[in-house]
């Protein structure tokens, strides 16, 4: 599986359109920030291993960003941070998001992005169900596979389809187009230009593991 930063080429600061809610600057008893209610009592400084967060969370825009690009920028950053951090600190952050008025329209996206990794069989069971917050995803990228001569019957075969959180789908798509030291500074998409179906599939499965939707 290719190594590297899962958020390579993605926005990570999430600062467009508003200020910070300062989640890590409050005491456990202070559960409101600028009128936004946090989700229950919590202790700051808890990450995956009940230690410090792995990184600072992206700022939550208090007002709805004016453009789709700005909204997607924040949602990608938030999904990436939630994927890297768990426990009470992630619950508090997600709870704050759910209480920001403009983000209520994105509740399904936020909840889906917090899914635990699943088996390949479990991911395939959700295909075609059109669940809010999820997309059907081709393990081997469909457009580029077709461009290099692979048949639609192979591309759309059930074995090549999984259902994953939409925000993770966006992140994987961005990763495929970002230059990567592990592919001789080519993007994964460029690296795969002349590769077999089997190698494309292995890299596609590796990306699902790296982005936390497929169990290793």
Rounded average pLDDT over 152-173: 95
Rounded average pLDDT over 41-58: 53
* pTM of the shown model: 0.68
From start to end of 18-127, where are the E strands?
Answer: 32-33, 36-37
Read off the pLDDT band of 100 (50, 70, 90): very high
Rounded Cα distance, 50 and 206, in Å = 27
Bigger pLDDT: 7 vs 170: 170
On the CB side of 157, CA atoms within 13 Å amount to 12
Read off the pLDDT band of 128 (50, 70, 90): very high
Bigger pLDDT: 16 vs 203: 203
Rounded average pLDDT over 11-38: 29
Alpha helix (H) residue ranges in 11-104: 68-84, 88-98
Give yes or no for residue 72 having a pLDDT over 90.
no
Mean pLDDT of the chain: 78
Return the SS3 of 214.
Answer: strand
Rounded Cα distance, 70 and 61, in Å = 10
Structure tokens at 10: 């993605």
Give yes or no for residue 54 having a pLDDT over 80.
no
Helix axis angle, 68-84 to 88-98, nearest 10°:
160
Look at 22-26, 99-103, 189-193 and tell me which has the smallest mean pLDDT: 22-26
Give yes or no for residue 46 having a pLDDT over 90.
no
Rounded average pLDDT over 165-185: 93
Give yes or no for residue 71 having a pLDDT over 70.
yes
Read off the pLDDT band of 32 (50, 70, 90): very low
């Amino acid at each position: 599986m290719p190594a590297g930063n899962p958020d390579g080429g993605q926005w990570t600061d999430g600062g467009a359109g508003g200020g910070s809610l300062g989640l890590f600057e409050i005491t456990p008893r202070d559960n409101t920030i600028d009128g936004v209610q946090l989700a229950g009592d919590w202790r700051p400084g808890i990450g995956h291993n009940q230690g410090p967060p792995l990184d600072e969370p992206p700022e939550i825009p208090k007002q709805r960003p004016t453009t789709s690009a700005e909204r997607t920028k924040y949602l990608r950053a938030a999904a990436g941070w939630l994927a890297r951090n768990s426990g009470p600190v992630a619950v508090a952050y997600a709870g704050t998001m759910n209480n920001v008025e403009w983000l209520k329209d994105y509740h399904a996206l936020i909840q889906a992005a917090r899914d635990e990794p699943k088996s390949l069989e479990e991911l395939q069971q959700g295909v075609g169900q059109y669940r809010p917050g999820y997309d059907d995803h081709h393990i081997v990228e469909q457009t580029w596979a077709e461009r290099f001569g692979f048949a639609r019957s192979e591309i759309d075969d059930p074995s090549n389809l999984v259902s994953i959180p939409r925000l993770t789908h966006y992140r994987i798509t961005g990763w495929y187009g970002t230059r990567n030291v592990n592919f001789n500074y080519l993007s994964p998409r460029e690296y795969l230009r002349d590769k077999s179906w089997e190698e494309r599939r292995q890299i596609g499965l590796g990306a699902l593991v790296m982005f936390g939707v497929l169990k290793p």
